[in-house]
Homo-oligomer: A and B are copies of this chain.
């Protein structure tokens, strides 16, 4: 039987989960940020990560569909606005497509989901399901990986700009926005779970929701690393980088 934690103790436990399990610790991120990937491998990352981006507003809508508090829905709605924008060429998803454009990927191909790694699809779909089916408290807690996003984003933008001549500041505009959006969202979610998780079982569920979400992110990088980093085991049907495109970039490995 777990003990009741103070809100501060709960926050410390959540931050410890991130320190141990957030995907900034994954070896693929070291390669990505450290300039160790070829353009084709960065393409594979951006292509697969697009699927995650594309499902985030659906995940947020699933959460709002279960929230009976107008205030909570009003605040959460901003996340959908951030990703979808107010006009067709705005928002985070559009900014992600600007990155895949800059990497030379065809927009229709990216949006189609063809070429996705099955591991990407299974992990992302598991996240959407989790938010749609678990308690509202767990659904909100599963967003708390954003607590750890600013550090990884800063590393990523600096590292990619320094190391890849095929990546421009404009192409990374998505991340600039996230540097302000993620902390605002994470602060809200953290305050919410600290306030609403009043029983030991609720607190444990909150912690486990964050563990689950860390697994969702980590598993996506496992699949990318296994498929596209030497020796590379691309599963049947998944994106096969254009060898010519890979050679045209700075070959860092």
Interface residues of A (CB under 8 A from B): 20-21, 25, 27, 117-119, 121-123, 125-126, 129, 211, 214-216, 218-219, 222-223, 225-227, 233, 235-237
Contacts and interface: CB of A to CB of B under 8 A. Distances in A.
Contacts of A236: 20-21, 25, 214, 218
Copy count, this protein chain = 2
Contact of A126 (B21, B126, B211, B214): B126
A218 B222 CA distance: 14
B126 A218 contact: no
Q: Is the interface of A mostly helix, strand, loop or mixed?
A: helix
A32 to B, nearest CB: 15
Contacts of A27: 233
Contacts of A20: 236
A222 B235 contact: yes
Choose among A119, A125, A218, A227 the residue with the greatest number of B CB atoms under 10 Å from its CB: A119
A223 B223 CA distance: 7
A21 B218 CA distance: 25
Contact of A235 (B218, B227, B233): B218
A219 B126 contact: no
